[in-house]
Structure 1
């Protein structure tokens, strides 16, 4: 059996590698032609001049690596491989900064092996077939180490870029929310930093405690990755976690669009915020709604659903307790009268119909009218007067 690791074969391999070294321009041109089949490269995210210089340098170092592999069989890297891997690290980071998607980068790097192997076949003689077969793993090992280091460096740079971009976005978001009425300049700067239309409509939520933890977890999944950077934004302030997102335009129900990941998180919710400039005020509303959440609330709570709670809290904040007056009026009830009256009035408030209330409570219509009259007698609240009814709704919120 022929030993393809004999001195003669090693010399012939060295000759083939030197011949390949003399064809670097051809290898680079072949690479340039084939890499244009990859859309991101065809769209010139990498300039033609840069691509040409990089391709030639890549093949020069790969061929030097093949030469070094023949001379070294130890596990340690020789100078040629160390140089190749340093170049690979720079290339990976450079392509990350150019915005090349990972799949496109991998496809481009995979071209190197086939082009080098085709180059060897073109310069080899028929009697070199066995020698080439014995060296295919060596060629693959060099290219694979180059590809692995390029990809690793690419991912590291992407992670660094994402962290840096996230920090910049957080800084601009904080600047926006720290102004009660943001200036036009601030709004313009924030819109540019976030990559959104400053006049777009946004959804906004606020949460605290365990709900805030859930909101942050959801934000991580919704806002991770460079491709989703304009879809979901988070701000932490005053013990609350706030999140906002641009609403899809020209779509039925778009004003109330909430990402599915948020639908089970108890939080204050403001739909359809008109532009970035309105977000700070909307955040105050969302924060107030979050403070009014009850254990029975299992999702976003809007002012539309909780306006009575908001009104009641604001009145309590200024010392007005509507419920106290109501309690005083009902204190004269005896037996189960109070429960019957409250049940009847609550059903009437929900339906606005005496007939519907009678049907729900399995009572005669006159019974409902008598209870409503008795309630008015005790409390002074006339359910036929909207202003008085509103006070009752707020008191019971």
Structure 2
């Protein structure tokens, strides 16, 4: 009886050569496994099936060529895969899982094709396969992070351009404004306001302002200016915006100017200037938002600065000529008296003075200016002169 000669087990080189010859089928199998295991790949609308298959084919071919000793480690395919997944919205975790699935497929093919007859070299090959998967995964992850960082920078710059367009003159770039409205999902109709917040040490960042307002149901877009923040706020109804202004006064950290309300995004351009002007009219140290419609006299002053300076000199000239401390005490008293709607008792309480002190200082102002407080015309002139000095004097915008 003759004994059949034992068939020699395939060598690693032979197995890997056969696997390289069938890399098309392996790539198809890997694509199927990845899509089944990772929802990210199924959901990535920008990643086409052809792109995913080529990435699988490219990396399998490169890894098998290294394993069979015909090529050195070449990581171009891994880096390309990392960049592509970052640009097309596939998560880093899903990318790394795909490489692990590729390593498992290679290992399963090796064990299946060897028929279990080459256990020692298979064990050696296992370490080689998984070490190579780690090298390729690291290269892909590095490329992914670089691409993601670059994309984030580009997205941030694009967002800044859109925001600047939104708050600029709409007549200069209507197409850009339309793009910005779509990008920030600003509704075509609703209740809108523009607010301007003066910079201060406690002024929140644009992102922080947006986040805080979102907790009270207000959507917003913010830009950072040289001297503060400018923001567009919107909600389905005006009542929600009115309620949010109180929150804004608490968190803004500086004087807040508020535009007129408007109902469509087309009103943003005019509202930006209204909010800035309203902020300029805000009293020093006031935490309450100043509405554009609530300060007609201060608005007249800042719109006509030459006339405002003339009014301040003509009405308050003798007061302004006094030494700084005396001038400050008289003007502070005058401002408190107007704030108290002409009540000397309320003004005294506000200033923590005796009522007679307030009366003395008011009479002193009357002597210097020739304006009688009991005369409505004289009182109005004093108010305009005081507004002009406060808004146009040194230290104000």
Give the TM-score normalised by structure 1. Answer: 0.63
Matched, 1:12 2:11: yes
Question: Following TM superposition, by how much is the alpha carbon of 1:263 offset from its aligned partner in structure 2, in angstroms?
Answer: 4.4
Residues 232 and 376 of structure 1: CA distance in aligned 2, closer, same or farther (over 3 Å): same
Instruction: Identify the residue that residue 322 of structure 1 maps to in structure 2.
Output: 311
Question: Following TM superposition, by how much is the alpha carbon of 1:394 offset from its aligned partner in structure 2, in angstroms?
Answer: 0.9
Residues 351 and 111 of structure 1: CA distance in aligned 2, closer, same or farther (over 3 Å): farther
Instruction: Identify the residue that residue 135 of structure 1 maps to in structure 2.
Output: 125
Residues 249 and 143 of structure 1: CA distance in aligned 2, closer, same or farther (over 3 Å): farther
1:164-313 equivalent positions in 2, closer than 5 A: 164-165=154-155, 179=169, 181=171, 185=175, 187-192=177-182, 196-197=186-187, 201=192, 205=196, 234=223, 240=226, 244=230, 247=233, 249=235, 253-254=243-244, 263=252, 270=258, 274=262, 276-285=265-274, 311-313=300-302
Residues 299 and 102 of structure 1: CA distance in aligned 2, closer, same or farther (over 3 Å): farther
Matched, 1:382 2:373: yes
Matched, 1:351 2:350: no
Distance in 1 between residues matched to 2:111 and 2:268, nearest whole Å: 65
Question: Following TM superposition, by how much is the alpha carbon of 1:310 offset from its aligned partner in structure 2, in angstroms?
Answer: 5.6
In 2, are the aligned partners of 1:270 and 1:286 still within 8 Å (CA)? yes
Distance in 2 between residues matched to 1:45 and 1:172, nearest whole Å: 24
1:52-91 equivalent positions in 2, closer than 5 A: 53-54=53-54, 56-58=56-58, 61-62=59-60, 64-71=62-69, 78=72, 81-82=73-74, 85-91=75-81
Distance in 2 between residues matched to 1:142 and 1:284, nearest whole Å: 61
Question: Following TM superposition, by how much is the alpha carbon of 1:87 offset from its aligned partner in structure 2, in angstroms?
Answer: 2.8
Distance in 2 between residues matched to 1:101 and 1:179, nearest whole Å: 39
- String of CA shifts for 1:195-220, please: whole Å, max 9, x gaps: 5446574655588xxx69x99x9569
In 2, are the aligned partners of 1:28 and 1:52 still within 8 Å (CA)? no
Question: Following TM superposition, by how much is the alpha carbon of 1:323 offset from its aligned partner in structure 2, in angstroms?
Answer: 2.7
Residues 357 and 168 of structure 1: CA distance in aligned 2, closer, same or farther (over 3 Å): closer
Distance in 1 between residues matched to 2:336 and 2:52, nearest whole Å: 78
Matched, 1:38 2:49: no
Show structure 2 runs of 5+ residues with no match. 1-7, 211-218, 391-397
Instruction: Identify the residue that residue 110 of structure 2 maps to in structure 1.
Output: 120
Distance in 2 between residues matched to 1:302 and 1:317, nearest whole Å: 23
Q: Give the superposed CA RMSD.
A: 5.4
Residues 64 and 373 of structure 1: CA distance in aligned 2, closer, same or farther (over 3 Å): closer
Distance in 1 between residues matched to 2:99 and 2:375, nearest whole Å: 78
Matched, 1:154 2:148: no
Residues 246 and 348 of structure 1: CA distance in aligned 2, closer, same or farther (over 3 Å): closer
- String of CA shifts for 1:168-213, please: whole Å, max 9, x gaps: 5566566666636467655324424555446574655588xxx69x
Count of aligned residue pairs for this structure pair: 361
- String of CA shifts for 1:248-279, please: whole Å, max 9, x gaps: 6466744577699x945x68755687554344
Instruction: Identify the residue that residue 109 of structure 1 maps to in structure 2.
Output: 99
Distance in 1 between residues matched to 2:313 and 2:349, nearest whole Å: 31
Question: Following TM superposition, by how much is the alpha carbon of 1:57 offset from its aligned partner in structure 2, in angstroms?
Answer: 1.1
Distance in 2 between residues matched to 1:88 and 1:222, nearest whole Å: 41
In 1, are the aligned partners of 2:301 and 2:308 still within 8 Å (CA)? no
Question: Following TM superposition, by how much is the alpha carbon of 1:324 offset from its aligned partner in structure 2, in angstroms?
Answer: 2.0
Distance in 2 between residues matched to 1:297 and 1:342, nearest whole Å: 16
Residues 185 and 47 of structure 1: CA distance in aligned 2, closer, same or farther (over 3 Å): closer
Matched, 1:394 2:384: no
Distance in 2 between residues matched to 1:373 and 1:298, nearest whole Å: 27
- String of CA shifts for 1:56-105, please: whole Å, max 9, x gaps: 514xx425423424427xxxx63xx43xx333333333323322233433
SS at match of 1:321: helix
